[in-house]
Amino acid sequence: RENDAWLADVPKLAGAHTWAKNLPKLDEAVREVIAMVEDLPEGAESTLELEYEYGTGDAALDALTQKLRADREQATRMESELAKLTLEAVERLSEAGMSVRDMGALLDLSPQRISQISPKMPVPAVAKERRSARTHRVNA
């Protein structure tokens, strides 16, 4: 960062330098300069995978923000894995005939959350029988 502008350099691409007033605009500028230097087809900018190393001018602040980004990335991966495992557990517990309340207790989730995760949970046979006994056909 220099004065009120963010400067960017892509070390592996000679001549790939740019700047912007804020980080979202810097990302756009970096993508454009990479596409230009590498002569990429129109629209390829959005497909580029970039890894940023930020420098605010304060080494301690840079280390803190880098750690936070890394921790958030790890938390996102863990949340994704947790969601997959939770769905698998709900499906298997449902197949085993567990109630929504029991699944909630086993998985430390509310019964409402269990219902949201698995909206197509099978209706127990007893409930189906009761429902069909109360169902009346109406011709209109």
What stretches of 22-73 adopt beta strand conformation (E)? none
- pTM, to two decimals: 0.61
How far is 15 from 52, CA to CA, in rounded Å? 17
For residue range 20-42, what is the model confidence (pLDDT) as tens digits?
999 999 999 999 999 999 999 99
How far is 66 from 71, CA to CA, in rounded Å? 9
Measured in whole angstroms, the distance separating CA 9 from the mean position of its chain's CA atoms is: 28
Task: Report the mean per-residue pLDDT for the chain.
Answer: 87
Q: CB of 114 within 8 A of CB of 100?
A: yes
How far is 62 from 49, CA to CA, in rounded Å? 21
What are the structural domain ranges in the chain?
1-52, 58-135
- 18: which strand partners? 8
